Chain A
Amino acid sequence: MAIRMKLVAAAAMLALGAGAAQAQDKLKVGFIYVGPVGDHGWTYQHNEGRLALEKEFGDKIETTFVENVSEGPDAERAIERLARDGNKLIFTTSFGYMNPTVKVAAKFPDVKFEHATGFKRADNVSTYSARFYEGRYVIGQIAAKTSKSGVAGYVASFPIPEVVRGINAFLLGARTINPDFKIKVVWVNSWFDPGREADAAKALIDQGADIITQHTDSPAPLQIAAERDIPAFGQASDMHRFAPDNQLTAIVDNWSDYYVSRAKAVMDGSWKSQDVWGGFAMDMVEMSDYKNMPDDVKAMAADTAAKIESGEIHPFQGPIKKQDGTEVIGAGERLSDEVLLGMNYYVEGVEGDLPQ
């Protein structure tokens, strides 16, 4: 019965023309995900943001998502489909959707687009990202306090500035505690590939790393760390349940507040194209509960996070040296956002060459 009603309604809309479809008072919001909702990492958190929208606005909002959208030729179609389906606000949640998002946005000027981690904007395209490096600095300090060998293993995805910045922030944090701290990096060239992520973690541990951190989206490296009983950090979401005795903390991406504020802006007509890069201060990045570590380390981590939030500490404060020893900035200076956004070098202490 309900279906028949819907069909009748659909037919009526077709008969009345496309304009009728817009007469509804519900705001339709669409999401494009790069991974599966169940990755328990990046996409999982974006989906949490979507659920927060539903919770906040109830029946005033309708959300849909498409998951596992490859960053190639399919992306444009998936985004366009959401736009054609009457979504007035569309979140495209991976860097690779940048050009398709801009292309589709030009075709649908009355639809608002929000693209995560990109740099191209338009009148109806905003960009947003989070300063995950703030969290990386904190876990770098924890790692240096916890590790006996002074070597951390880093499971990395792609050598883009976002990831390189995270590696450097981790190391700079660690070196405030142990000036000889080192990082070994393995690139798995994927955001989500539990098999390869696990293999990378194993290789790193075999090479002497006694603490594991990751910039990939599955809990696999954490699970390997638990298997080998060494400490590790969760990524993007609190992965505590995958390694209850080994996760020290996790850098949690919190998109919920931002998504709610942007949906509200569309509803009351105040939406404007903007670029947001939020960190601890905006609650876009949060640390999950500190566990499996002594109280003094907990206190230190909480203190550092608070100081970053207040601006007292900046993770990229000089002196900073590149891998080859050349100085980037001197003592007291801070790297600008522009430099951070294009970061393509390792700082001193990271082992191996950055794939270029």
Chain B
Amino acid sequence: MRLELVPRAERSTAMALVSPVIAIGLTLIFGVVLFASLGVNPARALYIYFVEPLTKAWSLEELVVKASPLVLIAVGLAICFRANAWNIGAEGQFTAGAIAGSVLPIYFPDFQSPVLLPAMLVMAMAGGALYGAIPAILKNRFSANEILTSLMLSYVALLILDWLVRGPWRDPGSFNFPESRLFNASATLPLLAEGGRMHVGILFGLIIAALAAWRLGVSVHGFAIKVTGEAPRAARFAGFDQKRIILAVFVIAGALAGLAGIAEVSGTIGQLRPEISPGYGFTAIIVAFLGRLNPLGIVIAGLLLALTFLGGEAAQITLGLSDKVTRLFQGFLLFMILACDTLIAYRVSLKFGHRAAGVTGTADQKMVSNG
């Protein structure tokens, strides 16, 4: 006896749209059970988790600051995923962008000019794009699995950053502690409001998401990406060059992750450090799927995920809950989304006896590639 996933003949579009809502609902129910079993009033816990951060101006600001790199990266990843190119290496592209964008303020700390920031942004995007191009080229040229290469390259980038800030880029005045010099004012992204933490970089996320929503919807390129992902043979017959598309989506995703990287370093942190990202590149994968690979959905998903981070901190401070609870919550949310998506596309059937030939094999493969 075993369980099998059988594709449903007809998929309900309505269900596909409400699937994230169901998933969030189930996560909330799980939260109630979780908090109750920890001896915390569930209503109060959920309030502190999901509502309280929205009631204060400063935490709204923090929400946007936290969400914007996630959105930028996730939009790029969504473009990749739509083309069936599994870029898991946004963390590395983020880091490569941050490094490339920091070259000027670190080597020329006294250089102050209005062209400095734009130059940093361009260099960061170029750095991220080049770094993103590596797994694409390896895939096109050697059929190397891009999941593996992009993931491995992330660790390479993190180690290069580590080496730089401990070695050649270390601030001479830092007592050998691993960090670069602080960027000067003209190398720092200006704040949107004095005294806060919202910098110009958060606009990038919104602009890019809007741009992507528009271009992916109406342009031939957007269509080519979609066809390449969903029906590669049809794409070939239509004359779309698959290799070029793979390279293009990786380059775009890399450039966006790189932009997020320099925005974070120049806008939020103000210097290079061994640790510049709390795993944004990986969290953005959740954001991309939660947003249904749709740029506007991704904006909402990014804000939602940022909210779980902030709420998690609030819960630690106010309720004395462990930070593990935050992670459990996020993990459960992703789990529920994948489960809902799966059950909407497939139905579970109980099979007795030997494995029956048929559609199961392809269903399994599909599951693997989605996971």
Binding site for B on A (CB under 8 A): 3, 30, 36-37, 64-68, 70-74, 76-78, 80-82, 84-85, 95-96, 99, 107, 119, 158-161, 189, 341-344, 355-356
Does residue B41 face the partner (Cβ distance < 8 Å to A)?
yes
In the complex formed, the residue of B with least CB distance to A73 is B268
Determine the chain B residues whose CB is within 8 A of the CB of A73 once the complex forms.
65, 264, 268-269, 276-278
Determine the chain B residues whose CB is within 8 A of the CB of A3 once the complex forms.
41, 44
Contact of B278 among A72, A81, A356 (CB under 8 A): A72
Q: Apart from A73-B269, A73-B276, list 7 A-B contacts with CB within 8 A.
A: A71-B273, A80-B62, A160-B177, A161-B175, A189-B162, A342-B175, A355-B166
Docked complex Cα distance between A76 and B179 (Å) = 16
Pairwise interchain contact A66-B317, C-beta atoms closer than 8 A: yes
Q: Per-position contact with A for B4-15: 1 when CB-CB < 8 Å, else 0?
A: 000000000000
Q: Per-position contact with A for B302-326: 1 when CB-CB < 8 Å, else 0?
A: 0000000110011011101011100
Determine the chain B residues whose CB is within 8 A of the CB of A84 once the complex forms.
58
Docked complex Cα distance between A72 and B268 (Å) = 9
Docked complex Cα distance between A343 and B176 (Å) = 8
Determine the chain B residues whose CB is within 8 A of the CB of A343 once the complex forms.
176
Pairwise interchain contact A72-B317, C-beta atoms closer than 8 A: no
Determine the chain B residues whose CB is within 8 A of the CB of A159 once the complex forms.
166, 178
In the complex formed, the residue of A with least CB distance to B162 is A189
Q: Given the known A-B contacts A71-B273, A107-B195, A356-B166, are A158 and B178 also in contact in the complex, defined by CB atoms under 8 Å?
A: yes
Determine the chain A residues whose CB is within 8 A of the CB of B270 once the complex forms.
99
- Range class of the B interface residue count: 35 or more
Determine the chain B residues whose CB is within 8 A of the CB of A71 once the complex forms.
273-275
Determine the chain A residues whose CB is within 8 A of the CB of B59 once the complex forms.
81
Does residue B87 face the partner (Cβ distance < 8 Å to A)?
no
In the complex formed, the residue of A with least CB distance to B312 is A66
Determine the chain A residues whose CB is within 8 A of the CB of B274 once the complex forms.
71, 158
For this complex, 11 residue pairs linking A to B, each with C-beta atoms less than 8 Å apart, are A65-B317, A68-B323, A70-B275, A71-B275, A73-B264, A74-B278, A84-B58, A96-B273, A99-B182, A160-B178, A342-B176
Pairwise interchain contact B278-A70, C-beta atoms closer than 8 A: yes
Instruction: Name the residue in B44, B177, B309 with the highest tally of chain A Cβ atoms < 10 Å from its Cβ.
Output: B177
Contact of A72 among B276, B309, B323 (CB under 8 A): B276
Docked complex Cα distance between A99 and B178 (Å) = 13
Q: Given the known A-B contacts A95-B177, A343-B176, are A67 and B322 also in contact in the complex, defined by CB atoms under 8 Å?
A: yes
CB distance from B108 to the nearest CB of A (A): 21
In the complex formed, the residue of B with least CB distance to A100 is B269
Determine the chain A residues whose CB is within 8 A of the CB of B228 once the complex forms.
none
Q: Per-position contact with A for B39-58: 1 when CB-CB < 8 Å, else 0?
A: 00100100000000000001
Determine the chain A residues whose CB is within 8 A of the CB of B44 once the complex forms.
3
Nearest first, the 5 closest Cβ-Cβ pairs linking A and B are: A70-B278, A72-B275, A344-B176, A73-B268, A342-B175
Docked complex Cα distance between A265 and B62 (Å) = 32
